[in-house]
């Protein structure tokens, strides 16, 4: 009886082992996923449609044959697509008929900020923080009288209490239709020259604050002073002079103009849209300057050469690139 049980157990155990060895093999082979054969990446550029380039993964032999047939294709994965260009936004001004000018910084199409109950919108020259600054006609800066009220020149340096020369700049409030007020007739200006009978651009490009790229094209603004910054290479391709802080000079080095407008070597303003630069945020607009950071106080202020060259509000306290800001 004991022997019979043992032999039975041996037979069952042997059968189980055979089943595992024989039966489980095919089951595992059917259930296991085989690794795909190795492939060679090829960047395929459809003829006449290079924007639709995409990566193919082909067996080695097929890849070689494919590259012989498609001369525009290359071995390896396609490079990543460049980011799309920034959307172009524009600032257009709405002319205001001026009765009297108080000051000499006005051209036709010079941007204006309405003086509202003795205040004007203003922005900090470095942080672009928004505020309302006191503006006293006759002491805070240049302004005009118009049929519908009084306006200050945008870009003027001002203190929150209304003294000229502070660390804030006068900003224009954007109208409901997206325009900003501007001078309708040609005035006088000491910061840059305009050929008689011509005016500043009525439509300007809007730049992205604290960014180093331009909305349309590199700067060509001419200046007489070298500018030092932490930016290298220069975002607009200006000529390198020296440095561990990088100093540049020549056309396109920087821009810091009360009208946000580039000039040529004769200090004459360029009058086309792409050479006129403003920046907006929170419903307000200021002349845009491409420059390093600055300290306005104590006077006469200074440029911070360890800061990057990016778009900021104009700082009308300092001569950064042009002999007149």
Query: What is the DSSP secondary-structure string of 180-193?
Result: EEEESS----SSSB
- pLDDT grade, residue 60 (50/70/90)? confident
**Looking at 12-16, 164-168, 182-186, which range is the least confident one?**
12-16
pLDDT at residue 262 tops 70: yes
* Domain extent listing, the chain: 40-75, 90-313
Compute CA distances 45 → 48, 103, 257, whole Å: 8, 61, 46
User: 0.75 cut: is pTM over it?
Assistant: no
Question: Of residues 297 and 292, which shows the higher confidence score?
Answer: 292
Residues 190-194: what's their mean pLDDT?
46
Tell whether omega for the bond before 233 is within 30 degrees of 0, i.e. cis.
Answer: yes
Question: N- to C-terminal Cα distance for the chain?
Answer: 114
% of the chain residues with pLDDT over 70:
82
Q: Are strands 74-75 and 98-102 parallel, antiparallel or unpaired?
A: unpaired
Each residue's pLDDT tens digit, 315-324: 988 888 876 6
Average pLDDT of every residue of the chain: 85
pLDDT confidence bin for 292, thresholds 50/70/90: very high
Please write the tens of the pLDDT for every residue from 221-253: 998 888 999 999 999 999 888 666 799 999 999
64: Cβ contacts below 8 Å, ≥ 6 apart: none
* CB-CB contact of 57 with 44 (8 Å): no
Q: Helix, strand, or coil here: 137?
A: coil
Two tokens, residue 198? 């011509």
Contacts of 186 (CB under 8 A, 6+ apart): 107, 108, 194, 196, 197, 198, 199
Reported confidence tier of residue 325, pLDDT bands at 50, 70, 90: low
pLDDT tier, 2 (very low <50, low <70, confident <90, very high otherwise) = very low
Residues in the chain: 325
Q: Please, where are the H alpha helices in 203-309?
A: none
């Amino acid at each position: 009886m004991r022997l019979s049980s043992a032999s039975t157990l041996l037979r069952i155990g042997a059968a189980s082992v055979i089943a595992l060895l024989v039966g489980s093999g095919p089951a595992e082979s059917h259930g296991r996923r085989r690794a795909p054969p190795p492939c060679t990446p090829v960047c395929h550029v459809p003829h006449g449609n290079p924007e639709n380039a995409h990566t193919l993964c082909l067996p080695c032999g097929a890849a070689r044959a494919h590259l012989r047939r498609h001369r525009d294709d290359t071995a390896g994965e396609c490079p990543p697509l460049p980011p799309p260009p920034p959307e172009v936004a524009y600032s257009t001004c709405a002319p205001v008929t001026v009765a009297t000018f108080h000051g000499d910084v006005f051209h036709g199409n010079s941007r204006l900020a309405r003086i509202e109950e003795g205040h004007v919108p203003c922005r900090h020259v470095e942080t672009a923080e928004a505020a309302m600054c006191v503006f006293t006609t006759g002491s805070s800066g240049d302004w005009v009288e118009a049929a519908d009220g009084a306006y200050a020149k945008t870009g003027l340096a001002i203190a929150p209490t209304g003294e000229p020369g502070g660390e804030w700049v006068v900003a224009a409030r954007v109208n409901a239709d997206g325009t900003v007020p501007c001078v309708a007739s040609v005035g006088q200006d000491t910061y840059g020259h305009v050929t008689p009978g011509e005016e500043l651009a009525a439509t300007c490009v809007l730049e992205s604050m604290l960014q180093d790229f331009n909305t349309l094209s590199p700067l060509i603004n001419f200046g007489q002073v070298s500018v030092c910054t932490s930016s290298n290479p220069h975002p607009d391709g200006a000529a390198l002079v020296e440095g561990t802080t990088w100093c540049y000079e020549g056309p396109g080095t920087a821009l810091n103009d009360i009208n946000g407008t580039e000039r040529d070597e004769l200090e004459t303003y360029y009058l086309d849209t792409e050479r006129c630069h403003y920046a907006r945020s929170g419903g307000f607009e200021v002349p845009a300057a491409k420059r390093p950071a600055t300290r306005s106080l104590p006077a006469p202020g200074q440029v911070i050469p360890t800061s990057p060259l990016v778009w900021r509000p104009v700082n009308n306290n300092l001569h950064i690139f042009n002999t007149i800001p």
